[in-house]
A and B are shown apart, each in its own frame.
Chain A
Amino acid sequence: MFLRCFRAENRKLHASPIWILFFLLPVISAVYGTFNYLQNLGILQDQWYSLWTQHTLFYALFFYPVLVGVYAAYLWRLEHRGHNWNLILAAPVRPLALFLAKYVVVLKLVLLTQLLVFGLYVLCGKAFAHLPGWPPVQTLLFLLRGLVGGQCVIALQLLLSMLIRSFAVPVFLGLAGGVAGMLCASKGIGLAFPYALMQVGMNANKSEDLLAGQYGGFLLASALWLALFLALAHLLLTRRDVRA
């Protein structure tokens, strides 16, 4: 049942305009990061690690929540428009499967985005910053951790966009969440806030490992947030009347 929903969801992305954003935001964030790095070579002396922080700081802080917010808002806007809520909820599938399908579709997009971010990071490191050798393997791990923390943001943004018919409001909430996440992370309570999980996962603002020795808590927090959002989605989709 899930696979059927996933296939349907994937098809809806054909010829959709979000692919423009998919390329645009990571490129902006890479250009900005590289520029910043080159301007501050005096302070940023950890080479690949320093470039990583410059590349991912704004990505994790602003661009990632906005990008996920836009993906999620776009996927739900397809249903908010017309009377498609009636269409999908009268289909013989469990409502949670519809939500999960959207979650996995955004996860897929985010995975591709993360790879693009990494590709741009390597490219900028070699071509513009002229860094020696190749980036440390640890950065790949950061990328993966970013995805683990970031998937909570996906579930949360999908939930917001499902409830709020506006396109811009949930995206803006995502942006605000990103900023609030940074504050939480800097106070050391990053695990308690979904937007911060992405940032600590990516190791976006420090050269030393933010998560050293905290993997258990990080994974647990990520899983708990996801479970909470899925449970909420299920309740809302089955208990509330459809308003198309």
Chain B
Amino acid sequence: MQPVIETQELCKVYGQRRAVDGVELHVPEGCVYGFIGPNGAGKSTTMKMLLGLVHPTAGRVCLLGQPMTERNRLALLRQTGSLIESPSGYPHLTGEENLQVVADLKGVPRKDIDRVLEIVDLAGDRRRKVGQYSLGMRQRLGIAMALLGSPRLLILDEPTNGLDPAGIQEMRDLLVHMPERTGATVFVSSHLLGEMEQMAEQVGIIDHGKMLFEGPLQALQRHSRGNYRLRVLQPQKAVPALQARGVPARLEKGALTLPPLPDAALAAAVQAVADAGAGVVELTAHTKSLEEIFLSLTQTREVK
């Protein structure tokens, strides 16, 4: 299947800084794709290049199967909805008037406004001034603007930025159902892996302008599996039992640290420790933070 977004060797250099450095994206149609990276990684810059807001120093962008050029840029934008460095909008106008401004610019009939207000659940606040909206409402208004005209592709830059946990959950529910509800492919950025775990099927990870990983979320989760901490009453009995099974264990602060193991192997190891009479008290899984995953991704990459 033709990817909805494809980039080749996409670069953007600001002075000496390579903000985006050889990024290759492949976003399949009909999915939610999470574009993840810490602050300053180059997410917004990449998204702006996809929309032609920033001119790439080098590389190519293909949207919806066509290489983007000056000539077909408007045609491609017509099928794309975006929210970059949110929230935007005109605070002195009402929510509805804001949507009318965007509908006019996109050449979309007015009645589409009712549809998008319904989707983002702002129909009740349509006559209020956007200046009085909460941050979460402004973010949802931004999504509504992007949804006008039923685009095939949505490019959303950190739509959960600044929201409280409830707001984040709402946004997540909104986005995860977007492909089935509107048929759009969703390309959404975040600096939190955890946020993406519950909505993205595909993920791309970027740091210092370089792609570290791209693929299905499950493949990434293999990288994110961290060490286990096993607390026992008598560590001196546990260590030989583990070594006998070939599981390297370290004793740290009164507990054993085990490396990432497949579930079956882990169960067997714990069984062996219990059989040795060490007295199993607690087993905790440690999931890696995004930074640690970055580290492990960078290291595996250098080994390759």
Contact = CB atoms under 8 A, between A and B. Distances in A.
A86 interface: yes
B197 to A, nearest CB: 27
B87 A86 contact: no
Interface string B101-144: 11011110000000000000000000000000000000000000
A87 interface: yes
Contact of A15 (B52, B92, B102, B104): B92
Interface stretch (A76-84, A161-169, A180-188): A76-84
Contact of A91 (B77, B86, B90, B97): B77
Contacts of A14: 92-93, 97
A84 B90 contact: yes
A131 interface: no
A228 interface: no
Contacts of B55: 239, 241
Contact of A11 (B87, B97, B107): B97
A244 B85 contact: yes
Contacts of B78: 92
B71 to A, nearest CB: 12
A87 B88 contact: yes
Contacts of B54: 241-242
Interface stretch (A2-10, A121-129, A192-200, A211-219): A2-10
B77 A92 contact: yes
Task: Bin chain B's interface residue count.
Answer: 20 to 34
Contacts of A86: 48, 51, 53, 82, 84-85, 88
Interface in A91-141: 91-94
A235 interface: no
A91 B102 CA distance: 8
A224 B209 CA distance: 45
A15 B93 contact: yes
A214 to B, nearest CB: 41
Contacts of B84: 83, 86, 90, 244
A206 interface: no
Contact of B89 (A7, A84, A90, A94): A84
Contacts of B92: 14-16
A242 B92 CA distance: 23
Contacts of A7: 104
A92 B100 contact: no
Contact of B53 (A8, A11, A90): A90
Interface string B39-61: 00000000010011111000000
B261 interface: no
Nearest to A16: B92
Contacts of B91: 81-82
B145 interface: yes
Contacts of A12: 90, 93, 101
B142 to A, nearest CB: 8
B154 to A, nearest CB: 12
Central interface residue in B54, B80, B87, B104, by most chain A CB within 10 Å: B104
B74 interface: yes
Contacts of B107: 1, 4, 92
A89 B74 CA distance: 10
A240 B70 CA distance: 14
Contacts of A90: 51-53, 77, 80, 82, 84
Contacts of B85: 83, 86, 244
B102 A87 contact: yes
A4 B198 CA distance: 39
Given A93-B74, A244-B88, 17 more contacts: A4-B104, A7-B104, A11-B97, A14-B92, A82-B87, A82-B89, A83-B86, A84-B88, A87-B89, A89-B53, A90-B82, A92-B75, A92-B106, A241-B54, A241-B55, A242-B48, A242-B54
8 contacts: A8-B102, A15-B92, A82-B87, A82-B90, A82-B91, A86-B82, A91-B77, A242-B48
Q: Which 4 A-B pairs have the closest CB atoms?
A: A91-B105, A8-B104, A86-B84, A242-B53
